[in-house]
Amino acid sequence: MNVVDDEGHRVTLPATVNRVVSLVPSLTEAVAVTAPGLLVGATDWCTHPDDLDDHGVTRVRGTKNPDVETIVALRPDLVLANAEENKPGELERLREAGLAVYVTDIRTVDGALRSLERVLAACGLDRPAWIDGARAAWDALPLPDSPRRAVVPIWRKPWMAVGSDTFAGDVLARLGVENVLGDSPERYPRFDPAELPPHDLVVLPDEPYRFTADDGPEAFDAPSALVSGRLLTWYGPSLLEAAHVLPGALAATATPAAG
């Protein structure tokens, strides 16, 4: 069976896919929730569902430095990857080892739902109910009358933020939040907190950098909203929860302490 991934690569698969290795936390959750037992390998960063280790899933290091030898030894029918999360050179090593590698490229909520449906179909799975539920939940969200303007840091030392053409940026846009660095030439630009465009909100996720009430808000003059990084940046079954939780989390802002 031949399928085409998001990058246009033709991927040759067996008639039945029985063993999958995922190099992306979002895709790991999508497969594990839809078809428990299909997943045989996942990265150290794959934290959902929280019972992966109980189901015998082998850890294959990180998204940027996967353990190719361990992955090959798992004899997967399919390896799932992402254009942003995984390095092309590492994926090519897997292909050279004779493995089928399917690469996703996800930058919007609608694109995520379409891509996830194709990924699961490549695994031989029908469209799960959680995809339909997530699509309905996002379509039902009204846009606020007055969009907020926000900066979305993802790291400090150095400060880095969500820039242009990102999944997180589209999630926020769907919730009525404009990313003030959304026209940056970079997807994740460095920035100086003292030299930002006008904004009235700082969105601080707890991953990849773990921002907290005591670590992050004090660097900005605008109110901060602490949000789940998984709900802001993951694009698997978490999309359903994100549609219900993120609007309230963005509204629960804290004013920066004086001085």
90 with 157, same domain: the answer is no
Last residue of a domain, one of 72, 94, 127: 127
100 with 32, same domain: the answer is yes
CATH number at residue 201: 3.40.50.1980
119 with 148, same domain: the answer is no
49 with 121, same domain: the answer is yes
For residue 80, the one-letter residue type is L
**What is the number of other CB atoms lying within 10 angstroms of the CB of residue 31?**
26
Could you read off the pLDDT tens digit of each residue along the chain, which spans 259 residues?
899 999 999 999 999 999 999 999 999 999 999 998 999 999 999 999 999 999 999 999 999 999 999 999 999 999 999 999 999 999 999 999 999 999 999 999 999 999 999 999 999 999 999 999 999 999 999 877 788 999 999 999 999 999 999 999 999 999 999 999 999 999 999 999 999 999 999 999 999 999 999 999 999 999 999 999 999 999 999 999 999 999 999 988 766 654 4
| 135, part of any domain | no
154 with 51, same domain: the answer is no
66 with 34, same domain: the answer is yes
Q: Rounded distance, CA 135 to CA 113, Å? A: 7
104 with 190, same domain: the answer is no
**C-beta separation of 2 from 12 below 8 A:** yes
Specify the DSSP element, H or E, that contains 112. Answer: helix 109-122
13 with 120, same domain: the answer is yes
| 258, part of any domain | no
6 with 115, same domain: the answer is yes
| 230, part of any domain | yes
Last residue of a domain, one of 127, 150, 185: 127
**Structure confidence at residue 40 (pLDDT):** 98
212 with 238, same domain: the answer is yes
pTM of the predicted model as reported, rounded to 2 decimal places = 0.93
**Helix (H), strand (E), coil (C) string for 74-106:** CCCCEEEEECCCCCHHHHHHHHHCCCCEEEECC
Q: Rounded distance, CA 153 to CA 44, Å? A: 23
Domain with 118 in it: 2-127
Domain count, the chain: 2
